[in-house]
């Protein structure tokens, strides 16, 4: 009798794992489709950059654009990124370090799809994090089987995702031009408060003498706190290096996290941008990012 019971338990376990993996593969396919959709909506260039476009802005804004966009660069606002680095899962007092590799399509200030694989020893976590047409999600699995988090769109999640999409606009500098709805206010010798037209909290960007971004911070709607209660709290970090891709000079190494400037600060997101390709719907999405996403997800492997 006990052998029959064991066989029943084993069958239920195998069946449960099969269903879990099926759900994972379905989510992976949805992430691939979302990558393609955001890329396919990439706007054509609204022209080529010249400093006259920002002549009426505060000095700190002019310094930023003079450094971030080379004269004559097509003003594309959607970018496909490849990144690698470290992800710290936990809080300041207790966290686990994962090696991170990810692909992302970003169309700031409103849309992004981020598809990472994270590894720590034999443990792998993968999934996607995104916001597309106002709807956010966060879905990750261990080994493609056990869900770590599986959250669909909600008012809280969407509000939190808006801040990420807005802050990452520094990877697509043309999106921060006034012609795209961004407003700039100088609040210090080297600091600007930038507001984007999606309802996200303003971003404070601090620059170096040449116009390079050295620090970013915003108030993000988040429940990453001991009370697990959604509220506005500082989210930001520092830039350690930059690189030039397609005429844009962007932060290429940064550390960012919750509670920036406070004792609880943990820079959980530490990445190097290894490639940035600026997209236009004049150049159809060739499948590179979705194919890459499929590889990352099928690795059996989190935001």
**Reported confidence tier of residue 4, pLDDT bands at 50, 70, 90:** low
Q: Which two tokens stand for residue 102?
A: 């990810």
pLDDT tens-place string over residues 42-89: 999 989 999 999 999 999 999 999 999 999 999 999 999 999 999 998
CA distances from 177 to 165, 181, 200 (A): 16, 7, 17
What is the DSSP code (8-state) at residue 202?
P
CATH architecture of the domain with residue range 2-298: Clam (2.50)
Domain ranges of the chain: 2-298
- Kindly report the backbone phi and psi dihedral angles of residue 35, in degrees, each rounded to the nearest multiple of 5, phi listed first: -55, -50
From the number of C-beta atoms within 10 Å of its C-beta (0-12, 13-18, 19+), residue 31 rates as: buried
| Cβ(246)–Cβ(48) below 8 Å | no
Q: What is the pLDDT of residues 112-139, one digit of tens each?
A: 999 999 999 999 999 999 999 999 999 9
């Amino acid at each position: 009798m006990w052998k029959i019971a064991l066989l029943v338990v084993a069958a239920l376990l195998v069946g449960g794992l099969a269903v879990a993996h099926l759900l994972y593969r379905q989510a992976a396919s949805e992430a691939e489709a979302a990558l393609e959709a955001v890329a396919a909506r990439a706007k054509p260039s609204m022209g080529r950059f010249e400093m006259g476009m920002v002549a009426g802005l505060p000095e700190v804004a002019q310094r930023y654009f003079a450094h971030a966009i080379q004269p004559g660069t097509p003003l594309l606002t959607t970018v496909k990124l490849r990144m690698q680095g470290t992800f710290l899962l936990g809080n300041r007092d207790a966290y686990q370090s994962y090696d991170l590799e990810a692909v992302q399509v970003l169309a700031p200030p409103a849309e992004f799809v981020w598809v990472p694989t994270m590894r720590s020893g034999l443990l792998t976590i993968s999934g996607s994090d995104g916001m597309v047409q106002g709807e956010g999600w966060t879905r990750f699995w261990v080994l493609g089987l056990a869900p770590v988090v599986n959250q669909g769109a909600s008012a809280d999640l969407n509000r939190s995702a808006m801040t990420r999409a807005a802050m990452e606009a520094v990877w697509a500098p043309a999106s921060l031009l006034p012609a795209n709805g961004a407003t700039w206010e100088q609040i210090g010798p080297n600091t600007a408060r930038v507001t984007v037209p999606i309802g996200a909290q303003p971003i404070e960007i601090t620059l170096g003498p040449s116009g390079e971004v050295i620090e970013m911070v915003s108030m993000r709607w988040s429940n990453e706190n001991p009370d697990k209660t959604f509220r506005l709290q500082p989210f930001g970090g520092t830039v350690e290096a930059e690189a030039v891709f397609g005429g844009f000079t962007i932060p290429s190494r940064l550390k960012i996290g919750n509670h920036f400037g406070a004792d609880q600060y943990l820079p959980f997101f530490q990445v190097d941008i290894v490639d940035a390709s600026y997209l236009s719907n004049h150049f159809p999405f060739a499948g590179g990012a979705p194919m890459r996403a499929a590889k990352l997800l099928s690795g059996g492997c989190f935001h």
